[in-house]
Amino acid sequence: MEGKTIMIVGAGFMGAGIAQVAAQAGYKVRLYDISEPAVENGIAGIKKILDKNVDKGKMAQTDMDAALALIVPSTSLDDAKDCEMVIEAVFENFELKKEIFQKLDEICSPETILATNTSSIPITKIAAAVKRPDKFIGMHFFSPVPVMKLCEIIRGIKTSDDAVKVTTEIAEKMGKVTVISKDVPGFIVNRINAAFRNEAYRCMEEGVATIEDIDKAIKFGLNHPMGPFELADFVGLDVGFNVASTLYAGYKDSRFAPNATLEKLNISGDLGRKTGKGWYDYTSGEKKPRTDVQF
Ligand code: NAD
């Protein structure tokens, strides 16, 4: 599919990242969102990242210009008409994704592969809304997309071998390492990480060690770049709570039951770095242990 055209639906955090890696891989990209400001915002974000790469000497200005020239803004889904692939990254809402894919199903050629970057909605459920479930697939990128190497490729129950092959080739051309997962809640990474994180929370609640020492143990004992509490704060405790709730609903297994202290922090509005407090306190500008709560 070299030189071919890919539409990215949704120019938010993930969509813009996917558009960037696709353009850097040489694909022609249509970056679609509901309004011009939303698309422009996505493109401005890409430009900012590429500018930084050029400033740091990691990228040539000519490569940056070439990548940006491949990204064409769009506010009309009709622009997907001649695309070989569409990758959707809009809000995590089934009805919204279903509506978009049903429109794309009418607009696109029957050969076009439709992919979703959903984190939690079953691929088979969205695929059932289109007339081409064999050409429907999950492409689960990780944030930030230009930095994180993995892309999980998720097969719905009817996804064809050919769709898996083509999608894997595209993701790899975008510089990603790919793995293939069945369509199960959390796929591979979020499932394992949710159980791992819950165990860290249990250790803290049982008084096995402090939050700081659990993070230290995992960083230096397992070579993780961040401990489970730091990472949870970085991603957002609301996101972590939603992931745990989805997995618990899917598996009905206590390994995934949303942790009670995590729930209390969510109720209190302490969602991690973005609100200044989560498992740690960031209000001084540095990461510090919390002194205002009893864990
Ligand atoms: P985001 O809020 O940054 O972006 C969502 C974008 O969708 C916005 O730009 C919004 O304008 C756009 N949008 C909303 N309605 C639309 C419509 N009708 N048509 C076109 N665009 C529309 O969200 P995000 O973090 O980029 O997440 C997008 C998807 O990626 C979600 O399904 C999420 O579960 C998944 N995901 C997110 C992460 C992450 O870490 N943020 C990781 C993996 C997967």
Under 8 Å CB-to-CB from 253, ≥6 apart: which residues?
A: none
The Cα–Cα gap between 100 and 95 comes to: 9
Q: What is the pLDDT of residue 66?
A: 97
Kindly state the tokens that stand for 77.
Answer: 């889904």
Q: What is the pLDDT of residue 25?
A: 97
> Which domain range does residue 14 map to?
5-182
Rounded Cα gap, residues 98 and 194, in angstroms = 27
Q: Are residues 126 and 109 in the same domain?
A: yes
Ligand 1 cavity residues, CB under 6 Å: 9-15, 33-34, 38, 89-92, 96, 100, 117-119, 140-141, 143
Q: Please check whether residues 159 and 229 belong to one and the same domain.
A: no
CA-based nearest residue to 264, from 287, 288, 290: 290
**Catalytic amino acids?**
119, 140, 152, 190
- Residues 92 and 202 both lie in one domain: no
CA-nearest of 5, 12, 22, 6 to 151 is 22
Could you tell me if 146 and 27 lie in one domain? Answer: yes
Q: Is the pTM of this model over 0.85?
A: yes
Q: Ligand 1 centroid to 100 CA: how many Å?
A: 13
Atom of ligand 1 at shortest range from CA of 92 = 32
Sites in the chain below the pLDDT cut of 70: 1-3
Integer Cα distance of 280 and 212 in angstroms: 9
Sign of the four-CA dihedral 10, 11, 15, 21:
positive
Distance CA 269, CA 279 (A): 12
Residue 295 is predicted with a pLDDT of 86
The total domain count for the chain is 2
What is the per-residue pLDDT across 36-93, written as a single tens digit (0 to 9) for each? 999 999 999 999 999 999 999 999 999 999 999 999 999 999 999 999 999 999 999 9
Give the total residue count for the chain. 295
Residue 112 has a pLDDT of: 98
pLDDT of residue 3: 65
